[in-house]
Amino acid sequence: MSAVARANRLTPYMFLAPAAVVLVFALLYPIGYMVYASFLDWSPSQRIGEADFIGLRNYANLLTDAAFLESFWVTIKFAAVVVTLEMIIGVGLALLLDRNIRGMSLLRTIFILPMMIAPIVVGLMWRYMYHPTVGIFNRTIKNLGFEQGIPWLSDSTWSFIAVVIADVWQWTPFIFILALAAMQSLPRSALEAAEIDGATEWQKIVLIKIPLMMPVLIVTLLLRLIDAFKVLEVIMVLTNGGPGLSTEIVALRIFRTAQEFQELGEAAAMSNLLLIMLMALTIGMFMYTKFQEARTARMLKAAQAEDE
Report the pLDDT value the prediction gives residue 284, as an integer from 0 to 100. 86
Query: C-alpha dihedral over 255, 259, 263, 268, to 10 degrees?
Result: 40
Average pLDDT, rounded, for the chain: 87
CB under 8 Å to 296, separation ≥6 — which residues? 211, 212, 214, 215
Report CA 98 to chain centroid distance, whole Å. 24
Inform me whether the pLDDT recorded for 81 exceeds 90.
yes
Measured between its terminal Cα atoms, the distance across the chain in Å is 45
Contacts for 304-308: CB closer than 8 Å, 24+ residues apart:
306/193, 307/189, 307/193
The residue that leads in pLDDT, 300 or 5, is 5
Torsion sign (Cα): 193, 197, 198, 201: negative
Report the pLDDT value the prediction gives residue 304, as an integer from 0 to 100. 66
Residue 41, H or E segment: strand 40-41
**Alpha carbon distances (Å) from 97 to 106, 194, 214:** 12, 20, 18
Inform me whether the pLDDT recorded for 6 exceeds 80.
no
Inform me whether the pLDDT recorded for 20 exceeds 80.
yes
Give the pLDDT mean for 191-208: 82
Report the pLDDT value the prediction gives residue 210, as an integer from 0 to 100. 87
Inform me whether the pLDDT recorded for 267 exceeds 90.
yes
- Residue 286 to residue 296: CA distance in whole angstroms: 15
- Residue 83 to residue 77: CA distance in whole angstroms: 10
Phi and psi of 133, rounded to 5°? -115, -40
Report the pLDDT value the prediction gives residue 16, as an integer from 0 to 100. 85
Pick from 157, 127, 180: nearest CA to 244: 157
Percent of the chain with pLDDT over 70: 97
pTM of the model: 0.85
Lowest-confidence pick of 59-63, 255-259, 287-291: 287-291
Report the pLDDT value the prediction gives residue 152, as an integer from 0 to 100. 92
- Going by pLDDT thresholds of 50, 70 and 90, the confidence category of residue 1 is low
Give the pLDDT mean for 105-112: 81
pLDDT digits (tens, 9 = 90+) for 119-168: 999 999 999 999 988 899 999 998 988 888 899 999 999 999 999 999 99
